[in-house]
Structures are given as C-alpha cells and as structure tokens.
C-alpha cells in the first residue's frame, strides 16, 4: 500500500478521535445574577472543550418597555492550546429582550415544550446559592413577604429538580429586615453543565423544529436581530 493511503487512514482516525474527545467534553456555564437598588447585573462564564475556549459576559440590565434592556459589555477569551496566551476583545452593544416577541417565536417552534424538557434532562446543576433580602414599611408585612418568598423559591427549585439533574442541595436564604428602609435585593449563583455532544444535538433538533413551522425562521430572526 502507498504511504499516502496510510497517511489518509491515520488522518481519518485522528479526526475521529478528536471528534469523540470534543463531543465527550462538557459545556460549563457559571451564572451570577444580582438584583438590588441601582444594580441589576448578570455575569456569565462559559467554558468549552476542557476549558480551552472561554467566554465571559457582563450584562448590566434593567426591566422596562415590556422586557429586559441591557448594555452588553462582553469580554471574549479563547485559548486553542494549553499554555497559550489568551486574547481579550471588549465590545459594547445595546439590546432589548421583549417578552412578547419571544412568546411569539416560541409559538412558532414545533414541540418547543417537549424539546425544552428533553434538553433540561441533560443539564447538571450544582453550587446553587440564592439569597434574598426584603424589607417593607411594617414588620408584619415584611414577615409575610419573607414567608411567601421562601415558598416561591422552594416551589421553583422543586420543579427544577424534576426537570434537570441537581447534583447537590441548593442553599436558599431569605433575610427579613425589620428595622431598615423598604427595599428588595436578591443574588443568585449556580453552575450548569451539559455535554458538548448533547448540546449540539439539542441545537440541531431545535433548528429542525423551527423549520417545521411555516414562518418559524422569520419569527426567530425578527426576535433575535431586531434592534
């Protein structure tokens, strides 16, 4: 056999091995969200391919005009090999996420709820910490609000525990402030992980479901790219 045939076979085997390694790697997302007076911010760190690809997003936001408005200040870092210096690129972009537009786009996706359930079933969640402070004008109202927040948090996290894989018990805390001025603040931290292969499959299935609905692609384009 020619040496070129051996080289071709070796190249194919190498590509297959690399594909298997990449597909078996994990996509890890660390989320930190803070909502308090004059400070609404989401910090996300995304790591892929064993940490060789990394993206960091800092998104100050506020609720207005039927959605979420934010000035995107994203920092992108990527390293293709171990030990290589990381390159950082900073950019700013103003975006608005309107809930009504996303509701319309979701309706234009065939079997969106089924797709969401199947995708969440592959997500691992850990290091969940959710702390909230609440203070109202009267101590009795503060106590009632604190109890309601406890119930809402445990109900939501209980629902999530049936939809995805919680690797550890969440740390949930509600702190009533009886002597301070009226205010509300909450801070949420968690780490989500899904295999790269399953994330790719979920993305492909989502695209197919959008294509199955007439006008689905246009609906998502108008939602994602509308200024």
Say what the pLDDT of residue 7 is: 81
Lowest mean pLDDT among 41-55, 91-105, 110-124, 167-181: 91-105
Note the pLDDT tens digit of each residue in 138-177.
Answer: 888 889 999 999 999 999 998 988 899 999 889 999 989 8
Token pair of 23, please?
Answer: 């597909």
Query: Other C-beta atoms within 10 Å of 200: how many?
Result: 13
Note the pLDDT tens digit of each residue in 65-101.
Answer: 667 777 655 444 444 444 444 444 444 456 667 777 7
Say what the pLDDT of residue 37 is: 80
- Asked whether 44 and 31 are in contact (CB, 8 A), the reply is yes
Quote the distance between the C-alpha of residue 159 and its chain's center: 17
Given a cut of 60, is residue 115 above it in pLDDT? Answer: yes
pLDDT band (50, 70, 90) for residue 226:
low
The Cα–Cα gap between 72 and 138 comes to: 38
Which residue reads 């790697």 in tokens?
25
Handedness of CA 31, 58, 207, 23 (dihedral sign): negative
Task: Give the pairing of strands 26-36 and 183-195.
Answer: antiparallel
pLDDT band (50, 70, 90) for residue 1:
low
Say what the pLDDT of residue 94 is: 64
Q: Which residues contact 133 (CB under 8 A, 6 or more apart)?
A: 174, 175, 176, 177, 183, 184, 185, 186
Given a cut of 90, is residue 21 above it in pLDDT? Answer: no
Token pair of 34, please?
Answer: 């803070």
Give per-residue burial for 147-174: e unless 16+ CB within 10 Å, then b.
Answer: eebeeebeeebeeeeeebebeeebebeb
Say what the pLDDT of residue 51 is: 82
The Cα–Cα gap between 104 and 70 comes to: 21
- Asked whether 40 and 58 are in contact (CB, 8 A), the reply is no
The single-letter DSSP state of residue 165 is: E
Q: What is the DSSP string of 29-68?
A: EEEEEEEETTEEEEEEEEEETTTTEEEEEEEEEEEETTEE
Q: How high does pLDDT run on average in the chain? A: 81
Given a cut of 80, is residue 216 above it in pLDDT? Answer: no
Say what the pLDDT of residue 190 is: 94
pLDDT mean over 50-57: 86
């Amino acid at each position: 056999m020619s040496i070129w045939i051996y080289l071709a076979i070796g190249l194919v085997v190498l590509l297959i091995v690399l594909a298997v390694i990449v597909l078996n790697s994990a996509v890890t997302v660390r989320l930190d969200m803070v909502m308090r007076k004059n400070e609404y911010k989401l910090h996300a760190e995304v790591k892929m391919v064993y940490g060789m690809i990394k993206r960091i997003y800092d998104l100050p936001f506020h609720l207005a005009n039927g959605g979420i408005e934010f000035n995107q200040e994203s920092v992108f870092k990527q390293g293709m090999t171990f030990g290589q210096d990381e390159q950082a690129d900073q950019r700013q972009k103003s975006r608005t996420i309107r809930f009504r537009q996303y509701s319309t786009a979701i309706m234009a996706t065939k079997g969106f709820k089924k797709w969401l359930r199947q995708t969440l079933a592959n997500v691992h969640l850990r290091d969940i910490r959710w702390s909230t402070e609440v203070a109202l004008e009267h101590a009795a109202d503060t106590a009632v609000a604190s109890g309601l927040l406890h119930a809402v948090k445990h109900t939501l996290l209980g629902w999530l525990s049936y939809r995805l894989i919680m690797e550890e018990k969440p740390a949930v805390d509600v702190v009533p402030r009886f002597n301070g001025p009226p205010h509300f603040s909450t801070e949420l931290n968690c780490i989500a992980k899904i295999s790269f292969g399953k994330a790719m499959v979920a993305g492909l299935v989502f695209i197919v479901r959008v294509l199955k609905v007439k006008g689905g692609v246009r609906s998502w384009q108008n939602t994602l790219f509308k200024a």
